[in-house]
Structure formats: C-alpha cells, structure tokens
Homo-oligomer: A and B are copies of this chain.
Amino acid sequence: MLAREGRAPGGKAPEGYDKYAFEPFAVTVDLAVLTVRGGVLQALLVERGQEPYAGRWALPGGFVLPHESAETAARRELAEETGLSDVSGLHLEQLRTYTEPDRDPRMRVVSVAYAALLPDPPEPRGGGDAAQAQWLRYNALGPLAFDHDRILADAHERVGAKLEYTCLATSFCPPEFTLGELQQVYETVWGTALDRPNFRRKVLATPGFVEQIPGAARLTGGRGKPAALYRAGGAKALHPPLLRPTSEGRPS
C-alpha cells in the first residue's frame, strides 16, 4: 500500500513513517441521492452559491472528517441534506472514486462518491444553515458543477444494473408497497415499459424478494382493483436475474 520507492514529491513525512514523502489531498464525499416519485426519477441537488460553478446545481457532499470513514461521512451528509433524522435504514453504497487532478480548479480534491436510494416521501429540508437541497428530475438537468454529471450518470447506470440481479428495487419503496409500485421503480430507472403479468410472475417466483402482507390491500390512486401489499423479503440477490429488455438484435 505504501510506496517503496523514492518517487513521491516533496512534503513532510510524519513521524514513524517511511523515509518517503507524499502529497496530501483533500478528501470529500459526493452523494448521488436518487428517488422515484410518481414514475419520475429524481436526484437531490444543491445550488452552488459561489465560484467556481456559481449558480450551477451540484451533488450534496462535503469533507471527510479526520476521524470518520468515508461511509460515515456520506451517511452524515445524507442526514444533513435530506433532513431525515434516521438514515440508518437507507441503502447507501459506495460508487466510485473520482481523482482527476483538475476536477476542482481550486485544489487537488479526491472524492469518494456514494449512491443513496430513498423511498418516495422525503421532504428535501436542508438542515439548518445548509444550502437548501432540492429534488430535481433526472432528465431535464442542465450541466452540473465539476464532474458531477458523470458521477450522477455512473450512479444511474450502477443502480440500473443492480436492479437486474439484486433486490435493490425495494430500497426505492416504502415499507409497504404494491407490485405495481415496484414495477414502476424498474420502469422508471430503466426507462422502459415492462409487461405487468410477466413482471409479477417473475417477482413472485423469486423466493425472498417480496413477501405478501396477509389481508392488506391498497387502492392505487383511487382507481382500479385494490392491490395486495408486500414488504421486502430477506433475499439480497436475484437468481436468475431480472434482465432488462435487450435492445440488441441477435445475429443468428
């Protein structure tokens, strides 16, 4: 892990360290917080008040503090930006780390990006003195600050892929949900329509994906037949996976 060669640049070597020097970087976390609301994929963004990129939307985030891990920092920022008192149940997953030397014009910043998934209803209350975070439609975003377009796109791609072979979709749903709502998560993230009976068959055939709440039902938007309610099951993976419809024609 540590350099065994004298290639590192100038800088102070802390006591008890190698004889080799290193260059310190600032380390931050960036959060791609996603939710599905009414068939629309939304991301939590903050408006920058100062240069660079003043007035642009940016991902919420902040510095990793000296005694916390990036994961802890991400969860702390998530609580601050969403205003939720308990974020312990939310799905938070490390996405990738962005290290291009010029990604922040002011200084060298290495950012560990996380993707977080929220069920529908969270109010975007920014906590106290924080800049107000807002939910914006994933489509219909202008260019974001820094390399945040790429981070957000990577988050979308990752989440879309994980829907195929994990039970991740339930993280977008409240504790009790209908299969129609679950299907809408898939359709919204993938941007494709799915056949309802087939989706249903597949989900129910996967043990531990969802479990029915006996006797419970809910009117979906007031119209149509009431749907049975389900909650997330214990399974984490989908075997076999629920593949998104392939657009590629297969040459014989």
Contacts and interface: CB of A to CB of B under 8 A. Distances in A.
Interface of A: 1-5, 7-9, 14, 16-18, 20, 22-28, 30, 46, 49-50, 58-59, 61-71, 80, 94, 96-97, 99-101, 104, 106-112, 129-131, 145-146, 148, 165, 207, 239-241, 243, 246, 248, 250-251
- Give the interface SS of chain A, mostly helix, strand, loop or mixed: loop
Contact of A106 (B5, B17, B58, B64): B17
A61 B8 CA distance: 12
A187 to B, nearest CB: 19
A5 B129 CA distance: 7
Each complex incorporates copies of this chain amounting to 2
A69 B100 contact: yes
A99 B111 CA distance: 12
Contact of A94 (B7, B50, B70, B96): B96
A112 B68 CA distance: 17
